[in-house]
Amino acid sequence: MHNFNAGPSILPREVLQEASQALVNFNNSGLSILEIGHRTPLFEDVLNEAVALVKELMQLDAEHEVLFLHGGASTQFMQAPINLLNDNETAAYIDNGVWGSKAIKEAKLFGNVDVVASSKDKNHTYIPKDFIVNPASKYLHITTNNTVEGTQWHRFPETDVPVVADMSSDILSCSLDFNRYALIYAGAQKNMGMAGVNLVVINKSILGKVNRKIPTILDYQNHIANGSMLNTPPVFAIYVSLLTLRWIKKMGGVQEIEKLNEAKAKLFYDTLDSLPVFKGTVAKEDRSLMNAVFVMEDPALERAFLDQCKKENLYGVKGHRIVGGFRVSMYNALPIESVKVMTDVMKEFCLQYA
């Protein structure tokens, strides 16, 4: 089986094995991970270690807090502006894909939005580069990797405005100075765990500056004060994230994971560009290392290629319904051997139909 699903997506085999054991007997306690109390030492140890590993892998400074929250990235489209933006203030947003557009829609409910750049004119197949961020903006919001359109930021905007980043689909996949971000949020189900939990990394200095009343459960400061246990946390999802974070560290940390991701992407894109049957849809300099999006020169061949992928046990290759074509997701846990199988299948298909 070769799992190219865009999310929820592939997990390391050892993570699945250990998690499955914990479903029956967690840490030899005789209890399932699904039935332990979240305020018992059994789970407190899990949460504390997960937080510590995030801080270590991201090399975070003392100003940044780590939270594990419910709701996924879609909740953060709303939670970020409600905490950071007053009604009469303006935040800068970049519209470079489906998820950025959704974030803009939610932010407009809580303040003014200045869309400083957009790639909509070319169906979000590139990353905007020449734009100006008003220094009076409360923050700049970007989506670092776009799972639907297959683009990724490889050079981040230089600005003195606090940066808020949705890193749901490339978190811990490449080396970054994570301390430069005022707020990072990421659904875990692509690179650091299973669906059901959202990582939030936040610089405490940006909080407490809005004059609106924030519902208790939406206030970041409340979650920080309660150590991600303001309400019952998603226990099993956090545990799977812990196992995945351990695996990343075992693999050599983010720097070594980045090398593997670059090798996988190079193998795939070099193959794609060499085959006349297939065509990439994204500007080459903005291609995602996580999600390769491509189409057929002859759309009539799409069904045949999907059938061939199914025959070879290549799963999750069909493109997002909005853009069509194909999508090969190469997240942290995907071994390069799976990419080799995919490229071999593409070459064989090309020999048959070119």
Annotated catalytic residues are 99, 166, 190
* Nearest-10 Cα torsion for 243, 249, 255, 258: -30
Q: Which of 311, 325, 323 is nearest to 272 (CA)?
A: 325
Q: 133: helix, coil or strand?
A: coil
Return phi, psi of residue 218, to 5°: -100, -5
> Which residue type, as a one-letter code, is found at position 67?
L
CB 67 within 8 A of CB 75: no
CB 185 within 8 A of CB 80: yes
Location of structure tokens 């189900």 = 189
The neighbouring-strand residues paired with 142 are 165
Location of structure tokens 């020999």 = 351
Helices 98-107 and 72-84: angle between axes, nearest 10 degrees: 40
Q: Sign of the CA dihedral 139, 219, 254, 267?
A: negative
CB 113 within 8 A of CB 94: no
Distance CA 311, CA 345 (A): 10
* Helix (H) or strand (E) run with residue 296 in it: strand 291-296
CB 133 within 8 A of CB 92: yes
Q: 258: helix, coil or strand?
A: helix
Return phi, psi of residue 112, to 5°: -90, 145
Task: Kindly state the DSSP code that residue 138 receives in the 8-state scheme.
Answer: S
CB 4 within 8 A of CB 316: yes
Helices 13-24 and 235-250: angle between axes, nearest 10 degrees: 140
